[in-house]
C-alpha cells in the first residue's frame, strides 16, 4: 500500500486539498477526487494533448505530471472556462467553426488555444499549426480548428478595441 | 504505475544525500516527462524518487552574459530558454531547434538537466549543445566536476555520470560568430522520434571554413562527433564540394543501426544527404551557398 499524503492547491479558482499517493497522475486525481473529466488520458505519452491542463498558467500533459507536484500551484481545467453557462470566446469559436466531430480531443485543443492567444493575440496559420502540433484530432478537423482559433483571435481583438474606444 | 516513495528535499545537497548510489531503483526526477513514460511502460520501476523541484531557486534560473555565454541551472525548463530573447539572440540554432523538439507542453515541463541525463540518442538538444561546445556540471557526494558534452554520452541511455551524481548545471560558451544549424529527419510522421539528427557548428573567415563540429544523433547509438567529416572541412573553401566531402566522410564513419525508423543503409544515405543540408543551412547567410 502506498503512503498517502495530502496536497493543497487552487483548482479552477478554489482552494482544495486531495489525498494522493506519489504515483498518482494529475488526470487520475482530477477524475477520481474531483469528478472533472474534461482532461482525459488518450495516448498516455504526452503526444495527443487530450489531457491538457494549465499549471500556474502553463499548459502541461496531465497524464505525464505527478499529482504530488501540484502542491501550492494554480490548476485550471477546461471546466473553468464557461461562466454562468456562457462559453468562453474560444469555446464559442470552436462551436461556430464546427471544430470537432467526436469531441474527445476538444478540451485539450481549447486549453492550448486559450494560452496561445494570451501569448500571441494575432497568430498566423504557421504559428497556430506549430503551437497545436502536440494535439491530435483523430477525426481530422484540423482546418476547422485553425479557423476556430482565427475566429477567436478576431473576436478577442474586437473586444479589446471596443473596450479601448 | 506501481507505487513508489517520493522525497521532495529543499536543497540540492540534500537531494544528493537522499540518492542511494548502490540502489538503481532510487532516482532523481525533475520535470518527469521521460521518467513517466518509462514508469508507465514498466521499463523503470522505482522504489524511491527524489524530486528536485523544491531545491534552491538558483537551480531553476539562467543567465546570458554580455558576450553571449549561457549558464543555466539543471532545473531550467526548456520553455524558459525557448522564450528568452537573450538565448534566441546568442544561439539562433536553439531558437530554431525548440519548435521541433517535442511539443509546447513537454517543453513547459522538461528540464535541461533531465534532458541531458536521460541520454536517449533520439533527443534533439544533446547533439545541438554538443556542437555548441557545451559542458555540464555534475554534483555528487564527493563534490562537483565539469564534463564536456563530448564526454558525457557513453552509449545507449548511458552517461559518464557516476552512480549518485546528478547534473546540476549547464554551460554553453559564447559562439563568437560561429554558424550553427540543426536538421532532423523523421521517417514515419512529423512528430515521431527522428531517424537522424545532424547538428553542425562552423567557424568561418572570408570564404574559408576554419573549424567545424559535426554531430550525429538518433541514427547512431549515442550523439557522436564525426571527426573525419570535420577534418574534411578544415581549411576548405565554403561550397558544395567541401560539403559533399564532409557528407561522404560522415556516411563512411558513422556506425548506423537499423530499427523501425529505417534500415542502416537507408539511414546512412540520410547521413550523406543531411550533413550537406545542415552545412548549407548553417552557412545560408554567408551568401556562398
Residues of A in contact with B49 (CB under 8 A): 22
The two beta strands, A74-76 and B143-148, are: unpaired
Fold of B179-282: Enolase-like; domain 1 (3.30.390)
- Residue B179 in contact with residue B172, Cβ under 8 Å? no
- Residue B213, strand partner residues: B201
Quick check: A126 contacting B, CB < 8 Å? no
Place of cell 530499427: B259
- The nearest alpha carbon in chain B to A111 belongs to B105
- The nearest alpha carbon in chain A to B33 belongs to A64
Q: What is the pLDDT of residue A1?
A: 53
Tell which phi-psi region holds residue B183, choosing left (phi > 0), alpha (psi between -120 and 50) or beta. beta
Tell me the residue ranges of DSSP E strands in A5-137.
Answer: 5-11, 14-20, 52-55, 58-61, 74-76
- Residue ranges of domains in chain B: 5-51, 57-172, 179-282
Quick check: B48 contacting A, CB < 8 Å? no
pLDDT of chain A along its 165 residues, tens only? 568 999 999 999 999 999 999 999 999 999 999 999 999 999 999 999 999 999 999 999 999 999 999 999 999 999 999 999 999 999 999 999 999 999 999 999 999 999 999 999 999 999 999 999 999 999 999 999 999 999 999 999 999 999 887
- Burial class from Cβ neighbours inside 10 Å (0-12, 13-18, 19+) for residue B38 reads middle
The Cα B191–Cα B182 span in angstroms is: 16
Quick check: A58 contacting B, CB < 8 Å? yes
Question: Can you list the alpha helix ranges (DSSP code H) found in B132-206?
Answer: 149-152
The Cα A62–Cα A46 span in angstroms is: 8
Which domains does chain A show, CATH number per domain? Answer: 5-80 (3.10.20.30), 89-164 (1.10.150.120)
Flag if A130 and B99 touch (Cβ within 8 Å): yes
- The nearest alpha carbon in chain B to A2 belongs to B3
What is the assigned CATH class of domain B5-51? Answer: alpha beta
What is the assigned CATH class of domain B57-172? Answer: alpha beta
Share above pLDDT 90 across residues of chain B, in percent, rounded to a whole number = 96
Q: What is the pLDDT of residue A165?
A: 78
Quick check: B105 contacting A, CB < 8 Å? yes
Residues of A in contact with B108 (CB under 8 A): 58-60
Quick check: B257 contacting A, CB < 8 Å? no
How far does the CA of residue A48 sit from the closest CA of chain B (Å)?
Answer: 10
Amino acid at each position: 500500500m502506498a503512503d498517502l499524503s495530502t496536497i493543497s492547491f487552487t483548482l479552477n479558482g478554489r482552494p482544495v486539498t486531495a489525498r494522493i499517493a506519489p504515483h498518482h497522475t494529475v488526470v487520475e486525481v482530477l477524475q477520481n477526487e474531483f469528478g472533472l473529466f474534461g482532461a482525459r488520458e488518450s495516448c498516455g505519452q504526452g503526444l495527443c494533448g487530450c489531457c491538457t491542463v494549465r499549471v500556474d498558467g502553463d499548459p502541461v500533459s496531465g497524464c505525464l505530471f505527478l499529482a504530488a507536484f501540484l502542491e501550492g500551484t494554480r490548476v485550471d481545467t477546461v471546466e473553468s472556462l464557461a461562466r454562468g453557462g456562457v462559453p468562453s470566446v474560444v469555446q464559442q469559436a470552436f462551436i461556430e467553426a464546427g471544430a470537432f466531430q467526436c469531441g474527445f480531443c476538444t478540451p485539450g485543443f481549447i486549453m492550448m488555444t486559450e494560452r496561445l492567444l494570451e501569448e500571441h493575440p494575432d497568430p498566423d496559420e504557421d504559428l497556430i499549426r506549430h503551437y497545436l502540433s502536440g494535439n491530435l484530432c483523430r477525426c481530422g478537423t484540423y482546418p476547422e480548428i485553425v479557423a476556430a482559433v482565427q475566429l477567436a483571435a478576431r473576436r478577442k481583438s474586437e473586444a479589446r478595441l471596443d473596450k479601448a474606444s | 504505475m506501481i507505487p513508489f516513495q517520493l522525497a521532495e528535499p529543499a536543497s540540492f545537497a540534500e537531494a544528493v544525500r537522499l540518492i542511494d548510489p548502490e540502489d538503481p531503483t532510487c532516482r532523481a526526477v525533475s520535470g518527469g516527462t521521460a521518467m513517466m513514460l518509462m514508469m508507465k511502460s514498466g521499463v523503470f520501476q522505482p522504489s524511491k524518487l527524489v524530486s528536485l523541484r523544491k531545491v534552491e531557486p538558483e537551480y531553476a534560473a539562467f543567465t546570458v552574459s554580455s558576450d553571449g555565454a549561457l549558464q543555466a541551472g539543471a532545473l531550467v525548463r526548456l520553455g524558459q530558454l525557448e522564450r528568452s530573447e537573450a538565448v534566441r539572440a546568442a544561439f539562433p540554432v536553439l531558437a530554431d531547434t525548440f519548435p521541433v523538439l517535442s511539443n509546447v507542453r513537454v517543453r513547459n515541463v522538461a528540464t535541461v538537466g533531465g534532458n541531458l541525463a536521460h541520454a536517449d540518442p533520439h533527443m534533439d538538444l544533446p547533439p545541438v549543445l554538443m556542437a555548441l561546445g557545451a559542458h555540464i556540471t555534475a554534483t555528487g557526494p564527493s563534490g562537483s566536476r565539469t564534463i564536456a558534452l563530448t564526454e558525457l554520452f557513453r552509449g545507449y541511455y548511458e552517461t559518464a555520470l557516476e552512480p549518485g551524481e546528478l547534473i546540476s548545471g549547464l554551460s554553453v560558451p559564447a559562439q563568437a560568430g560561429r554558424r550553427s544549424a540543426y536538421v532532423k529527419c523523421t521517417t514515419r510522421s512529423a512528430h515521431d522520434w527522428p531517424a537522424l539528427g545532424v547538428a553542425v557548428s562552423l567557424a568561418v573567415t572570408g570564404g574559408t571554413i576554419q573549424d567545424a563540429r559535426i554531430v550525429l544523433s538518433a541514427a547512431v547509438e549515442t550523439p557522436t562527433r564525426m571527426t573525419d567529416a570535420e577534418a574534411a572541412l578544415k581549411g576548405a573553401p565554403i561550397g558544395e564540394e567541401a560539403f559533399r566531402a564532409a557528407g561522404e566522410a560522415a556516411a563512411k564513419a558513422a556506425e548506423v543501426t537499423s530499427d523501425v525508423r529505417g534500415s542502416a543503409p537507408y539511414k546512412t544515405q540520410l547521413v550523406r544527404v543531411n550533413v550537406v543540408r545542415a552545412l548549407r543551412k548553417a552557412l545560408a547567410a554567408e551568401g556562398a551557398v
